[in-house]
Amino acid sequence: MSAQVLSGEQVSAFEQDGYLFVKDLYNAEEIELLHKISKADSHLVSDSINRLDSKAGNTKLTLRNDLSDDIYSAFARGARMVGAMEQILGGEVYHYHHKMTIKEPFVGGAWEWHQDYGYWYNNGCLFPYMASCMIAVDKATKENGCLQVLRGSHHMGRIEHGLSGEQTGADMERVEKAMERLELVYCEMEPGTALFFHSNLLHRSNQNRSPDPRWALILCYNAARNDPYKKHGHPNYSFLERWPDLKIKEIGLRDTAIKI
């Protein structure tokens, strides 16, 4: 286990609510470098996956299973992030994948209600010892389709999922009953804010009908002790080499000098 990044109170809040906001986990320079590089990265758009929501809105994301010598990997390997994830998941973690969600002005589609473990379960992961962290690249607001979560819904365990549009969505009968009992939270975030959330937390987002983009980097981790029992599209366990957080600035300055 690494040095503590989160307080005991923060870890307890995550366990109770299924999510945790950490304001300014990344400073203005780090997030500005991520913003500049990602917005200039043509591969994020050309390699993106498109999925229609239930109202035919187009959702877009770019997913990577591998880590390399780029700024996204510097965030994923960073001691700050890995240390926090180890506290949340109670032991060694490894990189499961990372993705950039891209909601462009006026056209960015919705994400239907779902749990990440709703489909990661089918990848051979026996336990929901998995979590993600969303890092706001742009400001996230209700108007541009910020994430919504049901506080404490991870305590329900995994629920059934099926197709909703071209997406995998949770059983809406159970979601609707959960909404009668649990608080709906709009996760409005400033750039640099991090939102940690449990793999069984129900979450969704609206379409972006505003003039403002909403991009977010999502880093996904699995506990080492939860190594999938079968091969799938996402990786099995491998040791995660941890980088000092200064690598974000080092790689960011290198790549902005080359590309910007």
Domain-by-domain residue ranges, the chain? 8-259
- What CA–CA distance (Å, rounded) separates 257 from 37? 10
Residues 6+ apart with CB under 8 A from 91: 1, 223, 224, 225
| Residue 6 DSSP label | S
Q: Which CA distances in Å does 187 have to 102, 147, 195?
A: 16, 5, 8
Topology of the domain covering 8-259: Jelly Rolls (2.60.120)
Identity at 131, one-letter amino acid code: A
pLDDT, tens only, 169-179: 899 999 999 99
**Average pLDDT for 123-136:** 98
Instruction: Compute the distance between CA of residue 92 and CA of residue 119 in angstroms, rounded to an integer.
Output: 22
Question: What pLDDT does 17 receive?
Answer: 98
Helix, strand, or coil (residue 169): strand
Q: Measure the CA–CA gap between 168 and 236, rounded to whole angstroms.
A: 22
Region 117-142 average pLDDT? 97
- Average the pLDDT over 87-110 and give the result: 92
pLDDT of amino acid 1: 46
- Average pLDDT of the chain is 93
pLDDT tens figures, 182-228: 999 999 999 999 999 999 999 999 999 999 999 999 999 999 999 99
Question: Which one, of 106, 119, 118, 115, lies nearest residue 58 by Cα?
Answer: 106
Retrieve residue 187's tokens: 């996760």
Global pTM exceeds 0.85: yes
Q: Are 117 and 130 in contact (CB under 8 A)?
A: yes
CB atoms near residue 91 (< 10 Å)? 12
- Eight-class DSSP state of 226: G
